Amino acid sequence: MTELMFCEFEAKFVIFLGIQFIYQEKSMKLDVLALAAHPDDTELNCAGTLAVLVQQGKKVGVVDLTQGEMGTRGTAELRLIEAENAADILGLAVRENLKLKDTFLENTREHQLEIIKYIRHYRPEVCFITAPQDRHPDHGKAHNLLKDALFYSGLRKIETEWNGQKQEAWRPVHVFAYMQDSPFEPDTIFDISTTQSMKEKAILAFTSQFNADKDTKEPQTYISGSDFFEAIRSRARVLGHRIGVEYGEGFLYLNGPIPMKSLDSYLEFKPKR
């Protein structure tokens, strides 16, 4: 008999180099999941926060709804590669793409179910989603779609399957909307002073989209110039200044007041006032 080798990773057990694979899969539990309409949305708007959480030992992932294939610059294939490069920079445990049609996002049961499958598979405690309204229509549409899908994911009578196995209901405990191009008044600002440089590297992993002033092969866009990149950095400075730190990212806490059980984080965090 051919010698078998055993490989164990996460909750998957595989026997390989034999005639037959034996495969058993369990869901990967994430602490935090960020969801976006397009690849690069999370990099632009919450990557600094995600990087801090990774450094704190949290298991963090990103799910993009579309491949951004309708964007002026780049291709779907290239943007997937860029997204993986950015994920490596941030230290993400997971980067997925649902491959829904770009510019066709709608709050339908079909789209909700696709998202619910991933929520139930990764079972995050905290989710970050797109802004309620924004310059790009897909961002606001994605917000309503995601918000509803996150709620419906907790209803056990809405049935979904993953690899042929029935999934259990799951609803994240906390949901935040990240600020995108159109500013809003945040109720939460996260200190990203230690990860702003990492965030910028993750953004620049999307070489087809940003800091491309000298690229004459494709048209220049609203986001492709160095001025847009500087605006992203400037906003982070302004948000950071508002809480007495160097850089920050702004969020809205959804579904009610911000809950508290302890003052420990406030007693430990002593920004300039």
- Other Cβ atoms less than 10 A from the Cβ of 263: the count is 8
Return the closest-CA partner of residue 95 out of 114, 115, 116, 80.
80
Q: How confident is the model at residue 74 (pLDDT cuts 50, 70, 90)?
A: confident
Cα radius of gyration (the chain): 20
pLDDT, tens only, 156-166: 999 999 999 99
Contact predicate 102/151, CB 8 Å: no
Task: Classify burial at 55, counting beta carbons within 10 Å of its beta carbon; exposed 0-12, middle 13-18, buried 19 or more.
Answer: middle
pLDDT, tens only, 106-122: 999 999 999 999 999 99
Phi and psi at residue 14, to the nearest 5°: -130, 130
Query: Angle at CA 29, nearest 5°, toward 25 and 32?
Result: 145
pLDDT, tens only, 144-202: 999 999 999 999 999 999 999 999 999 999 999 999 999 999 999 999 999 999 999 99
Contact predicate 207/82, CB 8 Å: yes
Residue-level pLDDT at 48: 98
CA 229 – CA 2 distance, rounded (Å): 56
Mean pLDDT for 38-61 is 97
Q: Could you tell me the two tokens for 172?
A: 């994240």
Residue-level pLDDT at 6: 34
H/E run at residue 264 = helix 264-268
Q: How confident is the model at residue 253 (pLDDT cuts 50, 70, 90)?
A: very high
Residue-level pLDDT at 25: 47
